[in-house]
Structure 1
Amino acid sequence: MARIQQGNGLLSSESKSFRGTTESVDKLDDNSSESAVNGLDNTEVQTDKYGFIEGAQQYSSNSSAEDVPPEILRQREAKWLDMLNNWDKWMAKRHKKVKVRCQKGIPPSLRGRAWLYLSGGKVKKEQNLGKFQELDSQPGDPRWLDVIEKDLHRQFPFHEMFVARGGHGQQDLFRVLKAYTLHRPEEGYCQAQAPIAAVLLMHMPAEDAFWGLVQICEKYLPGYYSAGLEAIQLDGEILFALLKRASPVAHRHLKKHKIEPILYMTEWFMCAFSRTLPWASVLRVWDMFFCEGVKIIFRVGLVLLRCMLGSQEKLKAYQGQYETMELLRHIEPRYMHETFLVNEVIELQVSERDVEKEHLSQLRRWKETRGELHAKSPPRMHGARAIMSAEPPSRQDLRQNPTIIVESPVAVENDGGRPASADDKKVKKKTKGKGEKEEEAQDEERGQTAAVAELPPVEVTNPYPALAEPEDSPSTLGSQQSLSSGEHDTYL
């Protein structure tokens, strides 16, 4: 039976497998969102800044209490535009700075483009021009098409992109998932891929979302969506082993009640917490995940387990297996709050080396008890730098095709536009000449009026004019304050 989860208004299945089989799909309640969704197609509704219909996503209005002031946001946007224009240099020489900026949160207007660059999807797309269009034009494997169709309305049914059955959001989601089954026919379709693809589509066009999905499935979480789910089971054992060090109390409690990791972490990991956390936290976790890799997913899981089960005082009310499982299914909002969660994740000392060391240990144990793995997965890449080092891009692969035109002191010279004026150079020198600590202090100082904040108005080009929203739509309110007009500007 499906249920509506308070975290972000998503439908969550209690079935043990995410594999895209008719049997597992039939276990879901097809009527669960039918009555709530149908009736909204022709009705004017209010959405929050993320595109969710008001009231559908709990915590969305309060989860980001410390919204970044517009002038600070514009500074960050200018910095990100500079990084994207010189991506190879930043990744090679100033990767730590990129990581810090991802931890602070990528500006909403540039999030989709940044994710594509961080994941290596931009390079894949440039190296395989026309590939998505070729896959999109093919009919697809009938054994997957029907299953994908049934899953479309279950992905974020209260988000403005996916609220209408047969709308452009669901159409693009179908195209992306179908294309992946043709790209990897031996893997096919897994239900957990649908929310991943849907999150990507909220921030980028279908072709970019396809290559983002390819990178997640092949580089970040290889083997997660293969038959048998061996990779996710193995990572469950890794999580449990890391928990022994992060929170011995929680580890002992779960072991005492014989609660296997696969019972509570499958949806967390396979959906990268997109069906678990409030939306502001989802986006911040994904910003760090694309930059630093799967260790971020492990850290989030460890933080939640430690917060919920990390002391004897907390365990007094959860003495049995049932009570503990209920707690893990209904995480307290305070532990999922954006600021709290991100700070805890950053501070938790779990590195790629820790994950890989435990991976080898658990792999040996798996072979001793269960034999060889049936699905051979490529080694996973731990974040953007590892992916870029493994497949070095050319400058041509990294060229930008911007939909935002900005005449900023940072971007003008790098884009080969008009020569920078004396004032431009002065501002650039002032910004670039400061030390890292001074720059960060300036970046975070609330209410300070910076020279970059006086940038001229921007021109935003909608690459999907047919999908342009009415002038007074809630999605466009407040867009004059910043390059970012909100998370719901899905195609910037």
Structure 2
Amino acid sequence: MLKRWDHYLPSEKLQCRVYKRVPPQVRGQVWLRLLNIDQVKARNAGKYQEMKEAALVSSRDIMQIDLDINWTFRSHSMFWDRYGVRQRALFHVLAAYSVYDTEEGYCQGTSEIAAIVLMFLPEEDASWALAQLMTDDRHAMHGFFVPGFQKLLRFQAHHERVLERALPDLRKHMDEEQMSTGIYTPKWFLQCFLGRIPFSLTLKLWDAYILDGARVLTATGSAS
């Protein structure tokens, strides 16, 4: 399929295989193609290095980024070492994005998103993958993090309607116990379940999310 990507991309067969699970040895290649990273890099040749350098001079978020990366995926071997290779790459990706998207800058929560793509992509590719996840129409994660969190509120409202319609007894019990959906849904939707399910299942879900975008979140929230 990778050798005949243009042939398989729109096919149901590719979708079925991605939903089954992308083999870990080719996950980076698949994510890179699904997010159109090569095309984005070609349109922005040299820009990543420029953003890294600009961030060190002008980003207001550098200190917070440096603090947060030390707590990002610390149970994963790639991010164990303070200022190790992957921690430094994560710092560069987040710093560059903070000047790429000046409306959002850096928001706590994006570090885990950047980290999971860094597990399978080299630094510059991971930087553009983060930009694609935030800004392309299929994923549009930017809307979760801008001031007001309007997209998060819409997804939470959808989840509550699903509870009322599909699981009324559970919803009644939650109301009796004063259990708000706002307690658990932010981490579901802001980061597509990162840190909320076993890691092997996280990767399987992210394969589907990279392919299909936000509709995976609403479908998963509905199934839950």
TM-score by length of 1: 0.43
SS at match of 1:123: helix
Ranges in structure 2 where 5+ consecutive residues have no aligned partner? none
The Cα shift of 1:262 comes to 2.2
The Cα shift of 1:137 comes to 2.4
Which gives a bigger RCO, structure 1 or 2 (Cα 8 Å, sep 6+)?
Answer: 1
Residue 243 of structure 1: aligned partner: 163
The 5-angstrom pairing of residues 250-399 of structure 1 reads 250-304=170-224
Is 2:66 the counterpart of 1:146? no
The 5-angstrom pairing of residues 418-457 of structure 1 reads none
Query: Using the alignment, how far apart are the partners of 1:114 and 1:262 within structure 2?
Result: 34
Residue 91 of structure 1: aligned partner: 9
The Cα shift of 1:201 comes to 0.6
Tell me the amino acid that sits aligned with residue 153 of structure 1: N
**Residues 1:141 and 1:263: Cα distance change in structure 2 (over 3 Å):** farther
Residue 232 of structure 1: aligned partner: 152
The Cα shift of 1:303 comes to 3.3
Query: Using the alignment, how far apart are the partners of 1:252 and 1:122 within structure 2?
Result: 49
Contact 1:239 1:302 (C-alpha < 8 Å) held by counterparts: yes
Residue 95 of structure 2: aligned partner: 178
Contact 1:217 1:225 (C-alpha < 8 Å) held by counterparts: no
Residue 201 of structure 1: aligned partner: 118
Tell me the amino acid that sits aligned with residue 131 of structure 2: V
Residue 128 of structure 1: aligned partner: 44
Query: Using the alignment, how far apart are the partners of 1:218 and 1:258 within structure 2?
Result: 36
Tell me the amino acid that sits aligned with residue 296 of structure 1: V
* Residues 386-409 of structure 1, C-alpha deviations (whole Å, 9 max, x = no match): xxxxxxxxxxxxxxxxxxxxxxxx
Contact 1:122 1:211 (C-alpha < 8 Å) held by counterparts: no
The Cα shift of 1:145 comes to 0.3
The Cα shift of 1:287 comes to 0.7
SS at match of 2:2: helix
**Residues 1:279 and 1:185: Cα distance change in structure 2 (over 3 Å):** same
Contact 1:177 1:194 (C-alpha < 8 Å) held by counterparts: yes
Query: Using the alignment, how far apart are the partners of 1:132 and 1:192 within structure 2?
Result: 21
Residue 26 of structure 1: aligned partner: none
Contact 2:19 2:207 (C-alpha < 8 Å) held by counterparts: yes
Tell me the amino acid that sits aligned with residue 268 of structure 1: W
Query: Using the alignment, how far apart are the partners of 1:253 and 1:120 within structure 2?
Result: 45
The farther-off stretch of 204-213 and 131-140 is: 131-140
* Alignment length (residue pairs): 220
The structure with the largest alpha-carbon Rg is 1
The Cα shift of 1:134 comes to 1.7
More helix as a share of residues: 2
Query: Using the alignment, how far apart are the partners of 1:230 and 1:257 within structure 2?
Result: 26
Query: Using the alignment, how far apart are the partners of 2:94 and 2:57 within structure 1?
Result: 10
Query: Using the alignment, how far apart are the partners of 1:260 and 1:239 within structure 2?
Result: 12
Query: Using the alignment, how far apart are the partners of 1:189 and 1:303 within structure 2?
Result: 31
**Residues 1:122 and 1:248: Cα distance change in structure 2 (over 3 Å):** farther
SS at match of 1:187: coil
**Residues 1:215 and 1:142: Cα distance change in structure 2 (over 3 Å):** closer
The 5-angstrom pairing of residues 400-415 of structure 1 reads none
Ranges in structure 1 where 5+ consecutive residues have no aligned partner? 1-82, 305-492
The 5-angstrom pairing of residues 21-32 of structure 1 reads none
| 1:169 alignment partner, one of 71, 76, 86 | 86
Query: Using the alignment, how far apart are the partners of 2:41 and 2:150 within structure 1?
Result: 29
TM-score by length of 2: 0.90
| 1:157 alignment partner, one of 53, 63, 74 | 74
Q: Percent identity?
A: 32
Query: Using the alignment, how far apart are the partners of 1:293 and 1:142 within structure 2?
Result: 29
Query: Using the alignment, how far apart are the partners of 1:162 and 1:237 within structure 2?
Result: 35
The Cα shift of 1:136 comes to 1.7
